[in-house]
Amino acid sequence: MSKLIYLVPLLPFLGFLINGLGRKILSKSSIAFIGNATILLSFIISVVLFFDVKATGGKVFTAFTFINAEAFKIDFAFQLDQLSSLFLLIITGIGFLIHLYSVAYMKDEEPQHYARYFSYLNLFVFSMLLLVMGANYVIMYIGWEGVALCSYLLIGFWFKNNLYNYAANKAFVMNRIGDLGFLLAIFWLLLKVGTVSYNEVFTEATLAKLTSTDATIITLLLFVGAIGKSAQIPLYTWLPDAMAGPTPVSALIHAATMVTAGIYMIARSNILYNLSETSQHIIAIIGLATAFFSATIAIKQNDIKKVLAYSTVSQLGYMFLGLGVGAYTGAVFHVMTHAFFKALLFLGAGSVIFALHHEQDIRNMGGLRKKMPITNITFLLACIAIAGIPPFSGFFSKDEILAAAFAKNPIYWIVGAATSVLTAFYMFRLYATTFLGKYRGTPEQESHIHESPKIMTIPLVILAFFSVIAGFFGIPKVLGGGHQLQQYLSPVLTTEKSFHIEHSTEYMLMGATTVLALLAILFAVNKFSKKPELDEATGLGKTLANKWYIDELYDTIIVKPVLSLGSFLKNIIEKSGIDGIVNNVGTFVQYAARQLRLVQNGQVANYIMIMVLAIVVFVLLWFYDSSLLRLVGKLFY
């Protein structure tokens, strides 16, 4: 039974190899079959493993010794425990639904590119599984780099459009900045405690070797990695641009799984983070700032995927807030619920884009409610879930984070609640503009709109089901639930440092956020269903629509100076310096050869003349200084 664990990552890898190598031979249907079947099998095994873990607890499976240095030894090992088995379910489960959805979404691609698409997706799932299953930071790092690569490949999937390639480059470069932090954290850990395996690091004896400064440095460096991967301030700008990829990719990578890798890493290292108050404060503040900041941007975006992208950044900010205030279960819970409703939102958006023939501007949509009933209903359910209306899933996870934030510092709660109001507002602005009101295209276009095929709507329905009920796994005690998720995760995640809020206070907080969110929804639906925002924004709205000009700021203070440094090095140092030396050596030799060639003019008298002169010179040398002659002699022998 336990050996099955190796199959979980191996199957997607096999799918990657078959589809990748056979992309010119296989037919589209076999490509789709291989791509889907491998993930489905992985998912089934994950379910089996999940119940196995639930019954018997976590285990470490060592495949072989990966690195064996004198000072330390790193195994290629998988850790199957409560946290990783939960992530396995999310990755393979949602991954499978998105694979299924892609079968129809990508059907217009040529077989070769179709195979390329599925092989990249499978490779991504493989890397993501490595990331969460690794039993030490090095294996996690391998998966970490793997997902960055796949993200790059899939954002730039339509590589004929150069803008998409730039977006892919941007994502990759920004991820690399974060990765450096992660790598340094691993080095620091090896230096200080000599091991990177979770089970060895998180023991009392090992932790005692770390001073609080070390703990702060390691946790902050790990957090830098998480900032890059999970798109937090200041490295978040790649995520909205990553929407250049096909929509199912955005759903899988840039909403449900890869971007939550940072959350997973910090939740996994929760014992380390408990050692450092400073790191926790920094994480909470950055998470909160990101949540609020990107929510404000989302208000004014008109690209359906951009709204969702900023919303993702904002929700990730929530999760970091949860991690920062010690609500590790809350953060993981939010990862889970967010994976459902955000994947659903992206797939719903994909369904709309598919029906409208790659139209993404919500100003050109409207009134899709009747044309696309299933997409409409599922999208609406997801919007309610993300807005945090009980009893939908988003409410429970968000509320858990907010309650913990309130216990830590009421200001956190105020900003967090404001963000959740903004979330409700922009999500329903999106919903109302897209699905309510009247269609704003030509009647001819309107007649072409149709509901997406079954293979796309079935994943929507399944995800919608879980978006609604996923919250029930974590009903807090105050609402009379047992919080099953917390119980399940308790062996891996330290329980939140006990925070005391009166039940009455907690009811009040829940009520306040819910009522505010409802008001925001009503306001948004009223405002945008009849009169959508079609004009260009002005004033503050314009600043928001331009994303606070952050991209321009980065461009001015980082990209341009680096580029001009590059062109300086290229044009001045490289061309006149290094190339200059090389070229001048060549030119000099050529010149010297041209001049020396004149000596060989075929006049015998000349040759003899030179010979005689040389003899005379040598004789004179011999007369005056025989040592010089010896030196000359040495040159020739």
Partner 1 sequence: MPVQYYIYLALILFSIGVIGVLTRRNAIIVFMCIELMLNATNLLLVAFSQMHQNIAYAANKASSAGIEGQLFVFFIMVVAAAEVSVGLAIIVMLYRNTRSVDINFLNRLKN
Report the interface residues with partner 1, using CB under 8 A.
Answer: 601-605, 608-609, 612
Q: Shortest Cβ distance from residue 618 to partner 1 (Å)?
A: 15
Phi, psi of 305 (to 5 degrees): -75, -30
Shortest distance (Å) from residue 634 CB to partner 1: 29
Taking the least distance from each CB to partner 1, the nearer of 69 and 599 is 599
Q: Which is nearer to partner 1, 68 or 603 (CB)?
A: 603
- SS3 category, 78: strand
Decide if 230 contacts 262 (C-beta within 8 A). yes
Q: How far is the CB of 619 from partner 1 (least distance, A)?
A: 12
Name which of 55 and 604 has its Cβ closer to partner 1.
604
Per-position DSSP letters for 298-325, written without gaps between them: HHT--BHHHHHHHHHHHHHHHHHHHHHT
Looking at beta carbons only, is 538 or 603 nearer to partner 1? 603
Q: Smaller CB distance to partner 1: residue 569 or 608?
A: 608
The residue (of 588 and 607) whose beta carbon lies closer to partner 1 is 607
- Rounded alpha-carbon distances, angstroms, from residue 364 to 21, 372, 536, 610: 41, 16, 14, 90
Which amino acid would we find at residue 261?
A
Q: Which is nearer to partner 1, 498 or 601 (CB)?
A: 601
Q: Kindly state the smallest distance separating residue 600's Cβ from partner 1, in Å.
A: 8
Q: Which residues of 144-183 are buried (b: 16+ CB within 10 A; e: fewer)?
A: bbbbbebbbbbbbbeeeeeebbebbebbbebbeebbebbb
Least separation, in Å, of the C-beta of 623 and partner 1?
14
Cβ proximity to partner 1: between 531 and 597 the closer is 597
Residue owning tokens 């929510």 = 295
Closer of 562 and 609 to partner 1 (Cβ): 609
Q: Which residue has the tokens 């040529």?
A: 110
**H/E segment holding residue 269:** none
Asked if 28 contacts 110 with a C-beta cutoff of 8 angstroms, the reply is no
Q: How far is the CB of 602 from partner 1 (least distance, A)?
A: 4
The distance of closest approach from Cβ of residue 617 to partner 1 in the complex, given in angstroms and rounded to an integer, is 14
CA distances, 637 to each of 124, 517, 631, 632 (Å):
65, 94, 10, 9
- Alpha helices by DSSP H, listed for 106-209, are 111-133, 137-155, 162-193, 198-201, 204-208
Query: Does residue 410 have a cis peptide bond before it, meaning omega lies within 30 degrees of 0?
Result: no
- Give the span between the Cα atoms of 523 and 420, in whole angstroms: 14
At closest approach, how far in Å is the CB of 632 from partner 1? 22
CB 541 within 8 A of CB 300: yes
Residue 493 phi/psi, 5-degree rounding, is -100, 130
